[in-house]
Amino acid sequence: MVLVESFSGIRGIYDDSLTEQVAARYAYSYLTLLKNKHARTTSGTNYVGKSKNLKIVIGTDTRTSRDILKNAVIEALDCDVIDIGIASTPMTEFAVRHFKADGGIIITASHNEPYWNGFKFLDKDGAVLRPKDMEKVIKSYNKIKALNDENFLSKHIYKNKDSKQITIKKIYKKYNEINNAYTDYILNFLSKGDKNKIEDSRLKVIIDPNGGTGIIAKTILKKLNIKVHGINMKHGIFNRTIEPNESSLFYLSNLVREKNYDFAAGFDCDADRIEIMTSKNLVSGNQLLALIADEILTDAKNKAIVVNDATSSVVKEIAKRHDAMYIETEVGEINIVDKMYELNAPVGGEGSSSGVIIPPSRCRDGILTLVYLLKIIADNKKNINELVKSLPEYYYIKKNIKIDPKKYSKIKKKLINYYKNCKTNVGSLKVNLDDDSFVWFRVSKTESDILRVIVDSPNKKKAEAMMKEALSSIK
């Protein structure tokens, strides 16, 4: 199995393509990038090769390989480390800002299955590295990946160091502090009036973190007087597939009915994704983004929203409702984040990946999305199904097709020839069939042999026909 390397991060199957040796070499390559950046921004001082002024946050999701990989990473880092233990991706990104660190490493494979793991490397603002910097890390790693341990240690980790130059790094364990600080951070998105409305609403919510980092959601919701029923609440015990979707969360629909709860929320392993299940159906990530955008844009001074080009047009319809600027970027969270901050947009997200980005966050945050949804329900005094009915209706269908990655360029050329009016990005191909329907293709950056196909239309039969045609065009 190959190691999947992209600007989104590094992923592989643990003890196959992803080993302790890979972890150490990637950590070293990332630290080298930070040293060089630090040297360029430190006027008149050459800090290349030194990292005494650097500190890095490290957080992990709950996979069994987490501590082995974390130890390998820490061994390779010649700098101070803030170890926050098990933490969601949004919490680790927040921690970089909270501790004023120079960067961070998240040991996670996000929505991939438990036998996978990986790394997300963070910039000093907590966001994942920009593509150019991530490319440098990948290139640096590939230059040293073939070195055996002895050469790697002598030529890189301990290069030109004598006993006087070797410094003892400090490792600060900040588990409790970051849990408390992140909880406060999430609750501070709400005004006192919002909190009172939520507390008075007597909402009842089921949460299913599936043994992942979203377990902290129960603590946060209880502070809002929400009645919470948690299932799969033991770290590292995965009782369903990791990615939350209609198939993996279907059983929650019965549970909502049986227990007479308002809805259920399912997270992926690092809790940047969330899906909502009612007693009747799944509320999709696109619908969640549309609902929250509708709420935020109502009172926003700067009416703008940024999404990826795979997001359903239901979100575009909401932007039109508020006469808001609607910007699409290529898939990739950092593309959205940077465009949001450039435009001072108050909301953004990837409807295709079930998460909303609300500044000052620099990533999708499943728990923040959930809390904002509770605010909307309490404000409007409507249940979630009633709120969804107020949205324009779109039929959004996703399929994952197994392909040989080497053949994608040939497939892409075939698709471009097949469809007219193609708009292509670096990684994706989007075909706007008319003003309100599109078909979209892209090779996954987290699973090397998967081609993702999405269709979106306000007409169900048309959407189904579009998907049938899309799959046929690939063959």
**Are residues 358 and 268 part of one domain?**
yes
Quick check: 119 and 101 in contact, CB under 8 A? no
**Are residues 334 and 200 part of one domain?**
yes
**Domain presence at residue 183:** no
Give the confidence band of 426 by pLDDT, cuts at 50, 70, 90. Answer: low
Give the confidence band of 470 by pLDDT, cuts at 50, 70, 90. Answer: very high
CA angle in degrees (0–180, nearest 5) for 194-198-199: 115
**Are residues 432 and 368 part of one domain?**
no
**Domain presence at residue 362:** yes
Q: Mean of the pLDDT values across residues 69-94?
A: 97
**Are residues 167 and 29 part of one domain?**
yes
**Are residues 233 and 112 part of one domain?**
no
Give the predicted TM-score (pTM) of the model: 0.93
**Domain presence at residue 365:** yes
User: What's the rounded Cα separation, in Å, for the pair 439 and 423?
Assistant: 11
Q: Give the CATH number of the domain where residue 466 resides.
A: 3.30.310.50
Q: Is the pLDDT of residue 420 over 50?
A: yes
**Domain presence at residue 184:** no
Q: Which of 178, 202, 237 is the last residue of a domain?
A: 178
Give the confidence band of 1 by pLDDT, cuts at 50, 70, 90. Answer: low
Q: State the pLDDT at residue 46.
A: 47
Q: Is the pLDDT of residue 161 over 70?
A: no
> Which structure tokens are listed for 351?
């409807």
Could you tell me which residues come within 8 angstroms of residue 60 by beta carbon, excluding any fewer than 6 positions away? 66, 67, 69, 70, 85, 86, 87, 106, 107, 108
Give the confidence band of 51 by pLDDT, cuts at 50, 70, 90. Answer: low
User: What's the rounded Cα separation, in Å, for the pair 419 and 433?
Assistant: 9
Give the confidence band of 246 by pLDDT, cuts at 50, 70, 90. Answer: very high
Q: Which of 389, 408, 427 is the last residue of a domain?
A: 389
**Are residues 355 and 241 part of one domain?**
yes
**Domain presence at residue 90:** yes
Quick check: 430 and 438 in contact, CB under 8 A? yes
Q: Which residue has the tokens 């605010």?
A: 375
User: What's the rounded Cα separation, in Å, for the pair 117 and 132?
Assistant: 23
Quick check: 293 and 315 in contact, CB under 8 A? yes
**Are residues 226 and 86 part of one domain?**
no
Q: Mean of the pLDDT values across residues 190-213?
A: 97
Compute the mean pLDDT over every residue in the chain, rounded to the nearest whole number.
92
Residues of the chain with pLDDT > 70: what percent? 93
**Are residues 379 and 402 part of one domain?**
no
**Are residues 428 and 407 part of one domain?**
yes
User: What's the rounded Cα separation, in Å, for the pair 283 and 291?
Assistant: 10
Q: Give the CATH number of the domain where residue 252 resides.
A: 3.40.120.10
For the chain, the residue count is: 475
Q: Count CB atoms within 10 A of the CB of residue 191.
A: 10
Q: What is the DSSP letter of 156?
A: I
The alpha carbon dihedral of 244, 246, 252, 256 has a sign of positive
**Are residues 385 and 401 part of one domain?**
no
Q: Is the pLDDT of residue 446 over 90?
A: no
Beta bridge partners of 265: 207, 276
Q: Is the pLDDT of residue 424 over 80?
A: no
Q: State the pLDDT at residue 40.
A: 74
Quick check: 120 and 18 in contact, CB under 8 A? no
Quick check: 337 and 311 in contact, CB under 8 A? no
- Phi/psi at 264 (nearest 5 deg)? -125, 150
Lowest mean pLDDT among 100-114, 115-129, 164-178: 164-178
**Domain extent for 254:** 189-389
Q: Which of 366, 389, 412 is the last residue of a domain?
A: 389
User: Which carries the bigger pLDDT value, residue 167 or residue 270?
Assistant: 270
**Are residues 350 and 430 part of one domain?**
no
User: What's the rounded Cα separation, in Å, for the pair 253 and 246?
Assistant: 10
User: What's the rounded Cα separation, in Å, for the pair 321 and 313?
Assistant: 12
Q: How far is CA 256 from CA 119, 224, 263, in A?
A: 35, 20, 6
**Domain presence at residue 111:** yes
Q: State the pLDDT at residue 2.
A: 83
Query: Comparing C-alpha atoms, which of 129, 116, 62, 120 is closest to residue 92?
Result: 120
User: Which carries the bigger pLDDT value, residue 447 or residue 59?
Assistant: 59
User: What's the rounded Cα separation, in Å, for the pair 420 and 266?
Assistant: 38
Q: Is the pLDDT of residue 48 over 70?
A: no
- Structural domain total, the chain: 3
Q: Count CB atoms within 10 A of the CB of residue 236.
A: 14
**Are residues 162 and 21 part of one domain?**
yes
Instruction: Kindly report, residue by residue over 10-45, the tens digit of the pLDDT.
Output: 999 999 999 999 999 999 999 999 999 988 776 544
Q: State the pLDDT at residue 335.
A: 95
